[in-house]
Amino acid sequence: MKTMNMLHAINSALDITMAENDHACIFGEDVGYFGGVFRATSGLQEKYGKHRVFNTPLTEQGIAGFANGLAAFGAPAIAEIQFADYIFPAFDQIVNESAKFRYRSGNEFNVGNLTIRTPYGGGIAGGLYHSQSPEAYFAHTPGLKIVVPRDPYQAKGLLRAAIKDDNPVIFFEPKRLYRASVGEVPEEDYSIELGKAEVVQEGKDVTVLAWGAQMEIISAAAEKAKEQGISVELIDLRSILPWDVETVANSVKKTGRLVVSHEAPITNGFGAEIVATIQQECFLHLESPIARVCGLDTPYPLALEKEYIPDALKVFEAIKNAVEF
Amino acid sequence: MTNPNNVSLNISHELAFIDSHALNIPTYRVLNEQGGVSEGATVPEIDQATALKIYDTMRFIRALDERMQAAQRQGRVSFYMQCLGEEAAVTASAAALDDNDMIMAQYREQAALRYRGFTLEQFMNQMFSNEKDLGKGRQMPIHYGSNELNYMTISSPLGTQIPQASGYAYGQKIKHINKQSGELDSEIDNITICYFGEGAASEGDFHAGLNMAAVHKAPVIFFARNNGYAISTPAEEQFAGDGIASRGVGYGIKTIRVDGGDALAVYAATKTAREHATKTGEPVLIESLAYRLGAHSTSDDPSGYRSKDEEASYRENCPVARFRTWLVAQGWLDEQEDEKVKEQVREQILDALKVAEKVAKPPLEDLISDVYNTPIPSLQAQYEQLKSHIKKYPDAYPITAGRIK
């Protein structure tokens, strides 16, 4: 075990990947010698060569297209999109190509070797275009897997699983926590199974669900609720696609209440999918309406970021309302 | 850094703009329009077997296109796309490759796939989306693909294969790169060819793909089929520069323009391009000029946007007849025998069509397989629900109802 921040943990997962396969490549804007604008790929070009860790021209659709081709060839292709806000020029390559490669060819070809890493989320005074959480757009696309880690240990284990998974995976990294989240991480290789949620705190009154950076927020809200005698069960969804209906439904059947929280705008956010499914699965167990605490339906603001974000106080209020319903 | 802008260092005191057609790019040609060797041209090295295989492929594709166009009109298949007028460009370029080179085509390159050995039955099974289709009946007719033949499955979105070809070719190169020096330490054994039309070259993926291949040195041959039309849009409404070839220079890619109706010129250009790619690891751009003699697809009617006279003038310059004339002059092709084979091919195609249209559609499980390597739990649940529903209302789902396990 070693104390690492999230960037170190991600770097460690990438390092292991590069060492285990001579064909694995890491590429994206500024990922080469500079090591990425957040330094997640620091030191890897020196170690594995310019031909395997390299800068690309500024073309997100090119990065995704190149990655699809490299993955189809059979090489682990780990592409970085510098900010999730800039993933949209690559939308066609991801949604129409990566996601459908295996299906449309009858499994003659696939891009299971593809992993796209991209920093997402707000709370860093990034305004409209350095703060977005676009996971729901991709969750509407069969063929993709979507993973979001909450801390360094999770980041390394989930990223290794994403890389080894035989399907294209988008790995959203909570950039607010890159350096802020520090924890004990094994130096050796390990994986955390995709598609499995984790109950990170057991409780009996209400289930509160989130993923990524929002886990820190709902944990703070749960602490506040505890002071008022409310026992909160916390779940980290970890995988958005596929998502672990069973773990969430079992929890809600026990507590009878659910609060879902995410940074992205509320309308058509992934929370909507969770709410729809859980009311189907747990209808007769529900003691209160399922609540969502999310971003407003606005572009991501700057000066009024504090007002916009689904902070711990808003989550706490939703917990209280659910319990007192 | 001595040259941070990465440009030619060449100061001038003359205020002069470069003309958009300054390159005045020539078109490489060997055979003249009548099928004779052009004056001053050198016939490339090509053996009789290869030349005849090219001709055999073109003859087959012409017969297939004719038959399937008719089959679409009869309502037997939903859709078709002919290669008419571009047979030489596609076939002769494919002939210049190694069988293990990857082909990433757009959609009108059935001749390249046939050259690799795709059987008549395989063509038919795809077009009838039956259970023997390698693509499991998922895509519209002509979206062929074969792992065995290194022919990437066709994707309808235009130009998406261009950056993918750069990535695929880069993968083919990796094992030839010396870990210490970062340079090539052996000749690359296999490369990628990427076909697209002049219309697709307006897509952002064209820019992305060519620029990345040039910067990262990916051994890919970009084969632009400039056939004059993107559905109804003529090339003059598609771009203002000197064709697609002029752009290759801008990306720093070795480029040639070739007469796409001349099988020998296409063969020689592609062969040389391949040599360059395997030796240097660098991409090459070939712009082929051939007129799209047929409609864009069976859903299109060119009479609405171009004249019969225009079509007729290009029909005279038939790439198949041109190559045939040369083969006959070489003494490699017997004209009577050729006519006999043409008739046989037509019959075989009709027979194969009749067989393929009776083969069963894919089973229900192919609706959900291959979305992921294994179905995710939610999809499996949807599948179980669907099966129950079909069992309850079997008459509404005749294709699958009787076959559900």
Q: What is the 3-state secondary structure (H, E, C) of chain B?
A: CCCCCCCCCCCCCCCCCCCCCCCCCCCECCECCCCCECCCCCCCCCCHHHHHHHHHHHHHHHHHHHHHHHHHHCCCCCCCCCCCCCHHHHHHHHHCCCCCCEEECCCCCHHHHHHHCCCHHHHHHHHCCCCCCCCCCCCCCCCCCECCCCECCCCCCCCCHHHHHHHHHHHHHHCCECCCCCCECCCCCCCEEEEEECCHHHCHHHHHHHHHHHHHCCCEEEEEEECCEECCEEHHHCCCCCCCHHHHHHHCCEEEEEECCCHHHHHHHHHHHHHHHHHHCCCEEEEEECCCCCCCCCCCCHHHCCCHHHHHHHHCCCHHHHHHHHHHHHCCCCHHHHHHHHHHHHHHHHHHHHHHCCCCCCCHHHHCCCCCCCCCHHHHHHHHHHHHHHHHCHHHCCCCHHHCC
| Token pair of B101 as six digits | 């080179």
Nearest Cα to A184, choosing from A24, A8, A309, A17? Answer: A8
What is the C-alpha to C-alpha distance for residues A200 and A202, in angstroms, rounded to an integer? Answer: 7
* Chain centre to alpha carbon of residue B379: 35
Q: For the whole model, what pTM was predicted? A: 0.97
H or E stretch at A296: none
Strand, helix or coil for residue A116: strand
Nearest Cα to B161, choosing from B111, B122, B115, B197? Answer: B197
What's the one-letter identity of residue A268?
N
pLDDT in tens, A231-244: 999 999 999 999 99
Rg (CA), chain A: 19
Check pLDDT > 80 for residue B171: yes
pLDDT reported for residue B1: 74
Neighbours of A162 (CB within 10 A): 27
Question: Which of B106, B172, B361, B370 would best serve as a mutation to test chain A binding (most A beta carbons within 10 A)?
Answer: B370
- CA distance readout (Å), B193 to A101, A323, B101, B348: 19, 63, 7, 30
pLDDT reported for residue A280: 97
What is the C-alpha to C-alpha distance for residues B332 and B326, in angstroms, rounded to an integer? Answer: 9
pLDDT reported for residue B2: 86
CB contact under 8 A, B174 and A72: no
Report the largest interatomic distance among the alpha carbons of chain B, rounded to a whole angstrom: 84
Q: Which residues of B touch A92 (CB under 8 A)?
A: 157, 160, 205
pLDDT in tens, B1-14: 789 999 999 999 99
pLDDT reported for residue B82: 95
Say whether A130 is catalytic: yes
pLDDT reported for residue B51: 98
CB contact under 8 A, B373 and A110: yes
Mean pLDDT across the stretch A118-127? 96
Report the largest interatomic distance among the alpha carbons of chain A, rounded to a whole angstrom: 60
| Token pair of B267 as six digits | 């063969």
Q: Which residue of chain A is at minimal alpha-carbon distance from B175?
A: A23
ipTM: 0.97
Neighbours of B404 (CB within 10 A): 15
Sign for the CA dihedral angle at A70, A75, A81, A84 comes to positive
pLDDT reported for residue A178: 98
pLDDT reported for residue B148: 98
Mean pLDDT across the stretch A204-223? 98
Question: Which of A33, A51, A101, A237 would best serve as a mutation to test chain B binding (most B beta carbons within 10 A)?
Answer: A51
Catalytic center residues of B: 292, 296, 305
Q: Which residues of A touch B192 (CB under 8 A)?
A: 69
Mean pLDDT across the stretch B185-214? 98
CB contact under 8 A, B153 and A105: yes
Question: Which of A47, A95, A107, A108 would best serve as a mutation to test chain B binding (most B beta carbons within 10 A)?
Answer: A108
pLDDT reported for residue A100: 98
What is the C-alpha to C-alpha distance for residues B271 and B249, in angstroms, rounded to an integer? Answer: 20
| Token pair of B165 as six digits | 């070809």
pLDDT in tens, B107-162: 999 999 999 999 999 999 999 999 999 999 999 999 999 999 999 999 999 999 99
pLDDT reported for residue B168: 98
Cross-strand partners of B195:
B223
- CA distance readout (Å), B126 to A97, A110, B69, B136: 20, 19, 15, 8
pLDDT reported for residue A59: 98
Phi, psi of B389 (to 5 degrees): -65, -45
Check pLDDT > 90 for residue B316: no
CB contact under 8 A, B163 and A64: yes
Would you give the end-to-end CA distance of chain A in angstroms? 45
Q: Which residues of B touch A25 (CB under 8 A)?
A: 170, 174
pLDDT reported for residue B117: 98
CB contact under 8 A, B133 and A93: no
Mean pLDDT across the stretch B59-74? 96
Partner residue opposite B147 with nearest CB, options A70, A108, A243: A108
B370 phi-psi bin (left φ>0, alpha ψ -120 to 50, beta other) = left
Sign for the CA dihedral angle at A196, A200, A206, A209 comes to negative
| Token pair of A261 as six digits | 């929280």
What is the C-alpha to C-alpha distance for residues A33 and A28, in angstroms, rounded to an integer? Answer: 12
Phi, psi of A287 (to 5 degrees): -100, -15
Mean pLDDT across the stretch B227-232? 95
What is the C-alpha to C-alpha distance for residues A17 and A159, in angstroms, rounded to an integer? Answer: 10
Active-site residue, selected from the candidate residues A60, A97, A173, A263: A60
Strand, helix or coil for residue A124: coil
H or E stretch at A235: strand A232-236
CB contact under 8 A, B212 and A56: yes
Pairing of strands A232-236, A198-201: antiparallel
> For chains A and B, what is the number of CB pairs under 8 angstroms?
171
Q: Which residues of B touch A104 (CB under 8 A)?
A: 135, 138-139, 143, 153, 155
Burial class (CB in 10 A: 0-12, 13-18, 19+), B405: exposed
CB contact under 8 A, A73 and B167: yes
Burial class (CB in 10 A: 0-12, 13-18, 19+), A135: buried
Question: Which of B168, B172, B194, B202 would best serve as a mutation to test chain A binding (most A beta carbons within 10 A)?
Answer: B168
Say whether A60 is catalytic: yes
Q: Let me know: does A174 contact A212? Beta carbons within 8 Å.
A: yes
pLDDT in tens, B348-390: 999 999 999 999 999 999 999 999 999 999 999 999 999 999 9
Cis, bond preceding A186 (omega within 30 deg of 0): no
CB contact under 8 A, A68 and B211: no
B/e letters for B321-344, b = 16+ CB within 10 Å, e = fewer, are: bbbbbbbeeeeebeeeeeeebeee
Mean pLDDT across the stretch B53-78? 96
What distance in Å separates residue B263's CA from the closest CA in chain A? 29
What is the C-alpha to C-alpha distance for residues B128 and B144, in angstroms, rounded to an integer? Answer: 12
What distance in Å separates residue A314's CA from the closest CA in chain B? 31
Strand, helix or coil for residue A210: strand
Check pLDDT > 80 for residue B405: no
pLDDT reported for residue B180: 87
Mean pLDDT across the stretch B284-310? 94
List the Cα angle B153/B158/B162 in 5-degree steps. 70
Partner residue opposite B153 with nearest CB, options A49, A104, A167: A104
Mean pLDDT across the stretch B167-195? 95
Q: Helix axis angle, A6-20 relative to A152-164, nearest 10°? A: 30
What distance in Å separates residue B123's CA from the closest CA in chain A? 14
Nearest Cα to B363, choosing from B333, B337, B397? Answer: B397
What is the percent of chain A where pLDDT is above 90? Answer: 100
pLDDT in tens, A271-319: 999 999 999 999 999 999 999 999 999 999 999 999 999 999 999 999 9
Partner residue opposite A72 with nearest CB, options B146, B168, B205: B168
Mean pLDDT across the stretch B309-338? 95
CB contact under 8 A, B211 and A62: yes
What is the C-alpha to C-alpha distance for residues A19 and B162, in angstroms, rounded to an integer? Answer: 29
pLDDT reported for residue B61: 98
CB contact under 8 A, A93 and B379: no
